[in-house]
Amino acid sequence: MSAGTAKLNVTVAEVKPINDLVTRFKFVRTGGGDLPTFSGGAHTVVEMQDGDITRLNAYSLMSNPADRGAYTISVRRDDQGRGGSKFMHSKVKEGMEMVISNPVNLFSLDLRAKKHLMLAGGIGITPFMAQMHQLSMMGGNFELHYSVRTASLGTYAKELAERYPGKVHIYHDDQKEAIDLKTLLANQPLGTHIYVCGPKGMINWVHSTAEDMGWPREAVHSEEFLAPASGKPFEVKCAVSNKVVQVGEHQSLLEALEAAGIDAPYLCRGGACGQCETNVIGYDGKFLHYDHWLTDEQKAGGKHIMPCVSRFEGKTLVLDR
Amino acid sequence: MSKTEFPPSITSRPVYGELEARSGSGHLMIADAEGAEAILDLAKSVDTGFWAKAHIIYIPKKTGTKFSGQLEELGASQYYAGPSYEAAQGRIRRALQDCHMGTQVYLSGTESLMGQAMAEATAAGIPHTAIQTEHRGSTARRMQCVHCKGITEDVTTDPFECSHCGLSLFVRDHYSRRLAAFQGVRVDAEDPGNIPEKVELFK
């Protein structure tokens, strides 16, 4: 449980396969009524009861933020993943009751921007769908460059091109099409902000190209949710709650703390938001930091860990929880 | 004259750095008076291709021709020297309109010049944290009277008389980025007529 993550009881109103990999889910409030409002770029954390395991995965809301009747998300099936997306694809049916968190936005539009330049890769399209709804209602200036593997796996590409004529540019990997990033970034008017969501390589490419070309860091925004990495099991001592917790091979440190009944804060569960930052009291071993939150100095310092994605290898780890 | 060090103050008070050449598609440099020296110092360490993409807008004020010749000789693709900030403002706006993301903005000289040029650059869409500044020369302040809202330039004493309404104003460190001015508040508001002697705080 965490501050700012009040829960919503919802019912699955629609399950719609979009292509071979992606399925769309629509949630309405159980018992009727409006859902809380949100802003483009927000995500919700979906709770999944998968047998004995409670899975909590964050998914971007892709519906129109002005529509409080329902939330929709799209889930890409990851057969090599830890099982959350497979659960969504195989177990979630229309009419099922589920619990999701209030929306949280870690990828919001900077509304001081005079132009919003969006760069999406694959399933990274979903936050932009809500943002484009929001901007088109406000008369905002935006442009989407969307890289997909093939036309048939180009989730929502066709309908976006029809909905926003002239503003949507699609690039197909199988036709050797690629975003000409240098030319694109060289010709943007002052006041343009870049937003990128997609695979890690794409995000790094956009950040480093923009930096080389003199773009201010404050004008480049990105979102990447990490799935917690698997690794060797380890043991952690929690000084405040006086518990010793075993972290399993396919379990995150945060999940292990929760399973032990320790009240650990979180928001994104993907190494991005900083909410779960935990002080390290003592350790003998090696940290495996996977988050985007701590600075390199902090990672080397051995005083902090982000339990949602990071792990530990060694003899002892004592946390301030 | 080297860069000015200001004593620590409230968070509202702007702080300035030291200009350094950064990679970018263009370099817009705006300076007044001794601010020229910051550009001349930066010039010692830039690549040869730098000036072909640079535009210098310079207001010499009391320094006259002391630095203008050296600045012009740097070989910026555009060089302009003008009599006042007001005279240069149209050119600054036009220059900002024409440049693209990736252009670097460098401001040096007095707080009045840097503050006003900063307001233009942020209005044009550059985040204020991405604009480089270096203070050189006079520490005289551009002040706004909180009572009549008039601006008084080149304030060197505390208190000072508002050039619009005539009230004696206390010089605060409270700063407005929007107005590019410090706040001046009536010094004898609670005890009319009791005006402390002027002290020359800024030169």
pLDDT tens per residue, range A117-172 = 999 999 999 999 999 999 999 999 999 999 999 999 999 999 999 999 999 999 99
| pLDDT at residue A229, rounded to an integer | 80
**Which residues of B touch chain A, with CB atoms under 8 Å apart?**
22-25, 96-97, 99-104, 124-127, 129-130
Task: Judge whether residue B184 has pLDDT over 80.
Answer: yes
Inform me whether the C-beta atom of residue A213 falls under 8 Å from chain B C-beta atoms: yes
Rounded-to-integer distance, Cα B141 and Cα B203, Å: 9
CB contact under 8 A, A216 and B130: yes
User: What's the mean pLDDT when you consider all of chain B?
Assistant: 95
CB B92 within 8 A of CB B32: no
A195 chain-B contacts, CB cut-off 8 A: none
Q: Given B22, B23, B96, which is nearest A190 (Cβ)? A: B96
Answer whether A209 touches B (CB < 8 Å): no
* pLDDT for A273: 87
Span A197-204, mean pLDDT? 94
Asked whether residue A74 carries a pLDDT value surpassing 70, the answer given is yes
- Chain A hits for B97, Cβ within 8 Å: 190
Helices B111-123 and B85-98: crossing angle, nearest 10°?
Answer: 30
- In this predicted structure, what is the pLDDT of residue A1? 46
Q: Which of B100, B101, B105, B178 to mutate to test the interface with A (most CBs of A within 10 A)?
A: B101
Does this complex have an ipTM over 0.85? yes
For A283, residues 6+ apart whose C-beta sits below 8 A from its C-beta are A302, A312, A314, A316, A317, A318
What local confidence, expressed as pLDDT, does residue A5 receive?
A: 56
Of A112, A214, A218, which is closest to B104 when you measure between CB atoms? A214
Residue B46 has pLDDT above 60, yes or no: yes
Q: Where are the alpha helices (DSSP H) in chain A?
A: 84-91, 126-138, 157-163, 181-186, 200-212, 253-259, 296-301
- The terminus-to-terminus CA distance of chain B in angstroms comes to 13
Q: Please tell me the predicted confidence (pLDDT) of residue A24.
A: 97
Q: Quick one: pLDDT at residue B1? A: 58
- Whether residue A82 has pLDDT greater than 90: no
User: Whole-model pTM?
Assistant: 0.87
Alpha carbon of residue A66 to chain centroid? 21
Tell me the chain A residues in contact with residue B96 when contact means C-beta distances shorter than 8 Å: 190
Please, are residues B183 and B176 in contact by the beta-carbon 8 Å criterion? yes
- Judging contacts by C-beta atoms under 8 Å, the chain A residues touching residue B130 are 216-219
Residue B13, phi then psi, degrees to nearest 5: -75, 125
Contact B59, B32 (CB under 8 A): yes
Q: Name residue B171's beta-bridge partners.
A: B184
pLDDT over 70 at A2, yes or no: no
Q: A16 is written with which tokens?
A: 């719609």
On the question of pLDDT at A80 being above 90, the answer is no
The residue assigned the tokens 């103050």 is: B9
C-alpha separations of B91 from A32, B62, B148, B174 in Å: 59, 21, 29, 29
Tokens 């399933």 belong to A123
Burial of A165 (0-12, 13-18, 19+ CB in 10 A): exposed
Closest-CA distance, A179 to chain B, in angstroms, reads: 18
**A217–B102 C-beta distance less than 8 A:** no
Whether residue B164 contacts residue B152, with contact meaning beta carbons closer than 8 Å, is answered with: yes
| Pairwise CB contact (< 8 Å): A214 & B125 | no
* B11: pLDDT strictly greater than 70: yes
When scoring A112, A141, A181, A190 by the number of chain B Cβ atoms within 10 A, the one with the most, hence best to mutate, is: A190
Maximum C-alpha span of chain B: 62
Which residues of chain B make contact with A212, given a CB cutoff of 8 A?
23
A20 touches chain B (CB under 8 A): no
**What are B107-130's pLDDT values in tens digits?**
999 999 999 999 999 999 999 999
Instruction: Decide if A214 and B24 are in contact by the 8 Å CB cutoff.
Output: yes
